[in-house]
């Protein structure tokens, strides 16, 4: 009997990373595959990125709006978690999947992992073992690891961390990053096409800017984003392409201040969502990225571009030599920009090796998942004995 596999995508980032894997799983005749779409994919405030999934001709089993009325009622993360559990419990009951694939560490993934666990579905976790001290994702990610039976990690350090948490080494696979593998398969748009798609033009110097809330501590997001934007304000010769923050606590405040800022500064342009191909093609044409997005750490080094990583959100992640860390203050941001545009740094990043990159990541994960579905059920045990 064919095994049933469920995958739930809730954001542009997890879909962009996993789209090629999803396509392979959906076309397989050896399993029954279900894709549910939720989260910011269904939100106009975040670009309604479900359209990107439809454009890729991916079959959607179910749409679940866990952010319903979020703008009107200003749902917080606790209410979103509650909605996720409430809306998805019947889906797990109806499908009764043998396996549930979970990508990453978004806070809305916790109730999904719990539902899968209560349903006795085997959980396959992708991108465990990462460390991000500046975000609540840190604890969520490790919690999901303990729910999970099989683990696909992006590098050797992450593999060691997952095993350190008591997971069986035989079930931890280091095949590299799906996000990086997706980049190597993309057909980049030309400069002319990007300018047409985005209805804007390039300068001689260009940077992509993405800033997400630092969610681990109760911090004033308004003060931080305004400090960063005002630090960038002096660079009239640089075009800044700004993308929307994730749907984290404080993101609405960040987005509001960014939009107000772009109205007064013509070399800053804001996009709710660029779309996967536009986003990567834009980075490929720009000088680098600035902000605190994980893509700057994981994906951008493969494009041989520099990353200015601001603040603590990504603190702890494994980093390639193309990453420039700096604090949230004007002087260090200015020094980082100066370094990024220096001739010595630009020469250096041409030879950078991405610590998240391996060969044939997507096809290897796909093949291993099919192999896993044939395994005999065993009781999960804490691997390391005291």
Instruction: Give the count of alpha carbons within 13 A of 228, CB side only.
Output: 27
pLDDT at 249: 81
CB burial class (10 A; 0-12, 13-18, 19+) of residue 204?
Answer: exposed
| Domain identity same for 67 and 200 | no
Which residues constitute the domain of residue 338?
Answer: 191-349
**Is 65 contained in some domain?**
yes
pLDDT at 72: 46
| Domain identity same for 317 and 363 | no
| Domain identity same for 364 and 332 | no
| Domain identity same for 156 and 283 | no
Contact yes or no for 147/116 (Cβ under 8 A): yes
Dig out the tokens for 190 from the structure: 């030309």
Round to whole Å and give the CA distance between 374 and 98.
11
pLDDT at 71: 55
Place of tokens 């990541």: 361
CB burial class (10 A; 0-12, 13-18, 19+) of residue 62?
Answer: middle
Dig out the tokens for 23 from the structure: 């396509």
**Is 183 contained in some domain?**
no
Round to whole Å and give the CA distance between 218 and 149.
33
In this prediction, the residues of the chain whose per-residue pLDDT falls under 70 are 69-75, 217, 385-386
**SS3 of residue 340 by DSSP:** helix
CA angle 80, 316, 134 (to 5 degrees): 40
**Is 70 contained in some domain?**
yes
**Is 49 contained in some domain?**
yes
| Domain identity same for 162 and 198 | no
**Is 318 contained in some domain?**
yes
Positive or negative: CA dihedral 242, 13, 320, 167: positive
**CB neighbours of residue 129 within 10 Å:** 27
| Domain identity same for 69 and 46 | yes
| Domain identity same for 41 and 142 | yes
Domain at 326, CATH number: 3.40.50.2000
| Domain identity same for 204 and 160 | no
| Domain identity same for 40 and 58 | yes
| Domain identity same for 278 and 134 | no
The β-bridge relationship of strands 238-243 and 268-271 is: parallel
CA dist 274 → 219, 242, 243, 279, 352 (Å): 28, 10, 7, 5, 26
Contact yes or no for 179/192 (Cβ under 8 A): no
**Is 130 contained in some domain?**
yes
| Domain identity same for 338 and 365 | no
Query: How many structural domains comprise the chain?
Result: 2
The β-bridge relationship of strands 62-64 and 31-38 is: parallel
**Is 377 contained in some domain?**
no
Alpha helices (H) along 286-341: 294-298, 330-340
Positive or negative: CA dihedral 239, 296, 59, 115: negative
**Is 182 contained in some domain?**
no
Dig out the tokens for 143 from the structure: 């919690």
- Name 373's Cβ contacts closer than 8 Å, sequence gap at least 6: 3, 5, 30, 31, 98, 99
Positive or negative: CA dihedral 164, 21, 292, 324: positive
| Domain identity same for 171 and 196 | no
Phi, psi of 163 (to 5 degrees): -65, -35
């Amino acid at each position: 009997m064919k095994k049933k596999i469920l995958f739930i995508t809730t954001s542009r980032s997890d879909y962009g990373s996993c789209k090629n894997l999803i396509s392979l799983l959906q076309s397989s005749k050896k399993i029954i595959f279900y894709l549910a779409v939720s989260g910011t994919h269904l939100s106009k405030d975040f670009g309604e990125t479900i359209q990107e999934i439809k454009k890729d001709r991916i079959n959607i089993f179910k749409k679940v709006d866990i952010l319903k009325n979020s703008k009107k009622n200003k749902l917080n993360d606790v209410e979103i978690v509650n909605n996720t559990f409430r809306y998805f419990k019947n889906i797990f009951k109806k499908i009764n999947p043998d396996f549930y694939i979970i990508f990453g560490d978004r806070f809305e993934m916790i109730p999904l992992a719990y539902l899968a666990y209560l349903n006795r579905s085997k959980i396959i976790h992708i991108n465990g073992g990462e460390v991000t001290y500046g975000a609540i994702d840190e604890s969520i990610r490790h919690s999901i690891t303990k729910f999970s039976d099989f683990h696909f990690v992006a590098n050797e350090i992450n593999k060691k961390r997952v095993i350190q948490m008591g997971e069986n080494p035989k079930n931890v696979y280091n095949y590299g990053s799906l996000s990086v593998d997706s980049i190597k398969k993309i057909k980049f748009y030309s400069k002319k096409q990007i300018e047409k798609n985005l209805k804007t033009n390039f300068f001689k110097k260009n940077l992509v800017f993405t800033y997400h809330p630092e969610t681990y501590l109760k911090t004033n997001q308004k003060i931080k984003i305004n400090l960063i934007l005002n630090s960038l304000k002096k660079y009239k010769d640089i075009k800044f392409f700004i993308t929307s923050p994730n749907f984290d606590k404080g993101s609405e405040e960040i987005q509001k201040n960014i939009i107000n800022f772009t109205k007064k500064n013509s070399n800053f342009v804001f996009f709710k969502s660029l779309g996967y191909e536009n986003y990567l093609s834009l980075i490929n044409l720009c000088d680098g990225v600035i902000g605190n997005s994980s893509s700057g750490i994981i994906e951008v080094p493969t494009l041989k571009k520099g990353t200015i990583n601001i603040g603590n959100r990504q603190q702890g992640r494994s980093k390639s030599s193309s990453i420039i860390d700096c604090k949230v203050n004007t002087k260090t941001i200015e020094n980082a920009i100066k370094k990024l545009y220096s001739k010595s740094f630009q020469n250096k990043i041409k030879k950078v090796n991405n610590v998240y990159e391996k060969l044939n990541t997507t096809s290897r994960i796909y093949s291993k998942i099919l192999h896993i579905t044939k395994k005999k059920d065993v009781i999960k045990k804490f691997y390391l004995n005291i």
